[in-house]
A and B are shown apart, each in its own frame.
Chain A
Amino acid sequence: MSKSDLSFVRTEMLPEQAPPVTEQGVVKWLRENLFAGPINTVMTLISLVVIYKILAGITPWLANGVWTTSSLAECREVLQGQTGGCFSVLTERWNQLLFGFKYPVEEYWRPTLAFVLLMVAITPVLFQELPRLFVATAAVIATLVVVELLAGAAGLAVPTVVIGGLGYWALARFGAAQRGGSIAVSRKLLLLTGLFPFVGYWLIWGGTVLAPVLALAGVLAGYMAFRRFEAASFAMGLLGAVVAAFAVWYLGGFLTAAAEGVLALPEVPSRDMGGFMLNMMLGTVCVSLSLPIGIVLALGRQSDMPIIKWICVVFIEFIRGVPLITLLFVANVVLAYFLPPGTNFDLILRVIIMITMFSSAYIAEVIRGGLAALPAGQYEAADSLGLDYAQSMRLIILPQALKISIPGIVNVAVGLFKDTTLVSVISMFDLVGMIRGPILASTEWNGVYWELWGFAVVLFFVVCYGISQYSQWLERQLQRDHR
C-alpha cells in the first residue's frame, strides 16, 4: 500500500522543546539542593543567617588586622576602638611560635633546612609519580627557601613552604595539574629517606658529625650482616645484624668521645627545642618509630605461640587503656626511677619513648585488623608455596595487610600528631605551650587570645587535613579492584 488513506501523517520529528525553566540550570540546582520543600527552605535560610553572622564577625577582624606593632597596647592605639585583630603578635613572636624561645637565633637555618629536607625525604615514600607542575612548584619553593636561608630569614622559609604548598593544592584542585603530565619518582631517592634521620639529627641537635655518621655505619654494618646470615635463617640474620650494629656503635662511642670537634655544629640541648618545631619533631619521630614496632606487635598478637601472644596482648591493651597524659607523667616523673642510676635521659627522649609506645599499640591494633581481613587462603597459599614464616609475611601477607590498614594508620598518625600538643601539660614548650606560657603571660601580649589560637588552629588544620587528604588519594590509587 503505497498511498495512505490517512489524511495526515507526520514525516519529520517535532523540534525538541527546551526543558521548563524550573528543570534546568541554576534554578533546577537551587530547587533541588536548597529549596526542596518548606523544611529545606527554612534550614537553608537559617544556615545563610549563620554564615552571614560568622562572616560579619570575622571580616572586619581580618580586614582591620594590625600586623606591625610590638605590643597589645600599641595595637589597640592603632585600632582606636575599631574591631580588628592584633596579628602583630604573630609577626613579632613568629620565631618563638615556630622554634620555641630558647633555640639560638643564629641557628634557625638548621631546623628549617631539616624541615625542607624532610619534605624531600618523604616524597619517594609517599609518591610513585609526581605531576610536573608539582615538581616545578617544589623547585621554586626550594630555591626561595635557600635564598631566605642565605639572607638569614629562616623564619620566612616555613611560610614560603606552606603558602607554596597551598598554592599548588589550589592549582591541582582546579585541574591544571592534570595537563602537565607526570614524572616517575626514582626508587633510588629512597636512599635519601634512609639518610635523612642522621642528617636531620645532626642539623637539629648539632655536635660532631661523627655521631650520626657512626650511627649510620652501625646500621649499614647490621644490614650487611643480615644479608650475610639471611641464607641460614631469618632469625640468624636478625641476630647477626643486631650484634654487628652494636659492635660498631660500641666502638664508635670511643671514637666520638675522642674527637668531639670534628665538623661540629654548635650543640643545642633538647630542652631548648620548642614551638611548632617540637610538635613536628615528636610527630615525625614517633610515627616512624612506631610503625615497625606496631607491625611486630600485631604479628606477635596473631602468633600461635601463647607466651608471645600474651606479652603482646597485655602490652597493647594496657597502653590503649590509659590516657596519653598518664604516660607523659610517667615520662616526666617516673621513668627516671627505672633507668640505671646515674644515667640522665633528657625529657624529650623520655617523651619520645612513651609516645612511641603509645602509638605503636594503636598502630598494632590497626594492622591486626588488616591481617584479620585477609582471607585465610592467602596464608595457606603462602605456606603451600613452601615459604617460611618470615618470607610469607614479607612477600605475601604484609604487603596486602598494610594496604588495607593505610586509612587506619593515617588516622593514628593524625591523632598522634594532634596529641603531641599534650606535652605542654608537662611543661614542655611546644606550640600550645608557647602560646599558654611565654606569650600570653608576657606583659606585651597578655590578652591576645583569638589571633594566637586561630593561628594554632590553622597550622594544625593545614597539616592534619593535608595528611588525611593524602590518605584518601592513596586509597584510590591502591584500589586495584572494582574499577
Chain B
Amino acid sequence: MFEVPTDRKYQESHEYATTDGETATVGITDFAQDELGDVVFVELPAVGDEISQGEEFGVVESIKAVSDLYAPVSGTVTAVNEDLFDRPELVNEEPYGDGWMLEVEVGDDAEFDELLSADDYREQTE
C-alpha cells in the first residue's frame, strides 16, 4: 500500500502539489518513486523559471528508467531542492518530505482545484 497523504492534491502523471494559497510545493508520489526504483538523477528548472500546468518541467531518472516530470500547477519557481543533486535517493526515501522538488509561486487557485484528491488518485493507482 502506498502513502497518499490527504493534505495535498495529485496529477495523473504522479506529481503532487501542496499549497498555502501563495506557494505550492511540488514533488512525485510514493507510488511513482516505487515504480521508478532507485532514483539516481534529477534535472530541475532554476529559480525564476516559469512552469505551466501539464507541461514538462524536468526529468527524474532511476537506474532502469528515464521519466519526464509534468507541472501540477503554473507559476514562478521560487526554490529548488538542491539536496537532490547530491542525494537523489531522497526521492525514494521521503517523496513527500525531504524528497520535494520545487516551490512555486502560484496565482491561480482554480488550477489547484482541478487536481485529483487523495482518494481519486489512490483509486487511479490501484
A binds B: no
